[in-house]
Amino acid sequence: MRRREFIAAFGGAAAWPFSVRAQQAARPVIGFLSARSPDDTGPVLQAFLRGLGEAGFFDGQNVTIEYSWARGEYTRLPALAAELVQRRVNVLVATGGAPSAKAAKQATSTIPIAFVTGDPVKDGLVESFNRPGGNATGAVVVTTEMEPKRLSLLHQLVPGVPLIGALLNPNFPDAALQLRELEQSAQTIDRRLFVAKASDDEESNTAFALLLQQRIGALLVAADAYFDTRRDRIIAFAAQNRLPAVYHFREYAFAGGLVSYGPSITDAYRQAGNYTGRILKGEKPADLPVLQPAKFDFVINLKTAKALGLTVPFGLLNAADEVIE
């Protein structure tokens, strides 16, 4: 090979990795902050990526996503959010409920935020649903307000149970509201309610023991990201102790839980992904209305019902959006 050709070839080979690095550096970066863990977020993360793709962005191709997981430990969220802000991400995505969204909002007033949360107006994240103002918008997942409905469904499934147990995380921002709603709903259906509280694994062990000690006949798991990260363990507890149980997201029913009722979380994540892409294209969060849930999923797992020796009333089967057989 001639010297000039050798230099040209060598120069081209050296320039190629530099060009790739330059392209990667030029990609916009999304900071994905979640109160949950990667192990329990697969389906909703895919929904987020699908929404992002609808806006023309694909991880590893024309955008880079950096993930931070609190794994149900809410106290970690402020530091994780601050770290993503320090990396100068182009959009900060906050998922897993109010704790993530609040941490993101406290960390930055300039970087755009796309959230999946409960009531963003009550939490001070936006000025209003139609006109968010500021640097945040996203999709709403209504879970806390659904506790009475879930307790009613559980009562219809097992009307003869005198004592119903509830698992509640006292560190969840809406825990006081959840407790009040559940106590009022229990009075309405004339049933006794025993509430066990847990925010970590040690407390969960104690809560499980207390629920069994009280001889509850059914279980309601209150909506909370920490419980989502321990979903399989909670479902196993209910199965081993033959407890009919109701949950807030369809993921639970598909993982073996008896019944779930709540908003379509996959739809909310898809919407947040789409908003993230639109923001990357130049739209401002202040101009994007907060999206409210249009669909609620009521899922019954008949396999689990059969294992529990439970006959599901025809009216509930008929009302279900999906029945797992």
Domain count, the chain: 2
Q: Do residues 259 and 272 both lie within one domain?
A: no
Mean pLDDT of 112-133: 95
Confidence check: pLDDT of 63 > 60: yes
C-alpha 208/C-alpha 196 separation (Å) is 8
Q: Among 7-11, 217-221, 228-232, 281-285, name the one with the lowest average pLDDT.
A: 7-11
Q: Are strands 296-301 and 259-263 parallel, antiparallel or unpaired?
A: antiparallel
Q: For residue 176, how many other CB atoms are within 10 A of its CB? A: 11
Q: Give domain status of residue 95, yes or no.
A: yes
Q: Do residues 306 and 174 both lie within one domain?
A: yes
Q: Which two tokens stand for residue 127?
A: 């000025």
- What CATH number does residue 288 fall under? 3.40.50.2300
C-alpha 188/C-alpha 148 separation (Å) is 10
Alpha-carbon distance values, 123 to 97, 140, 273, 311 (Å): 11, 12, 21, 41
- pLDDT of res. 121: 95
Q: Give domain status of residue 7, yes or no.
A: no
Q: Do residues 250 and 151 both lie within one domain?
A: yes
**What confidence tier does 293 reach under pLDDT thresholds 50, 70, 90?**
confident
Q: Which of 214, 227, 281 is nearest to 97 (CA)?
A: 227
- Domain residues for 36? 24-142+265-295
- pLDDT of res. 130: 96
Q: Do residues 200 and 315 both lie within one domain?
A: yes
Tracing tokens 């989502």 back to the chain, one arrives at 228
Confidence check: pLDDT of 8 > 90: no
What pairs with residue 163 in β-bridges?
A: 192
Mean pLDDT of the chain: 91
Task: Report DSSP letters for 28-79, one per residue.
Answer: -EEEEEESS-GGG-HHHHHHHHHHHHHTT--BTTTBEEEEEE-TT-GGGHHH
Q: Do residues 138 and 150 both lie within one domain?
A: no
pLDDT tens-digit profile of 143-169? 888 999 999 999 999 999 999 999 999
Amino acid at 179: L
Is the Cβ–Cβ distance between 243 and 219 less than 8 Å? yes
- pLDDT of res. 207: 98
Q: Which two tokens stand for residue 195?
A: 């509430």
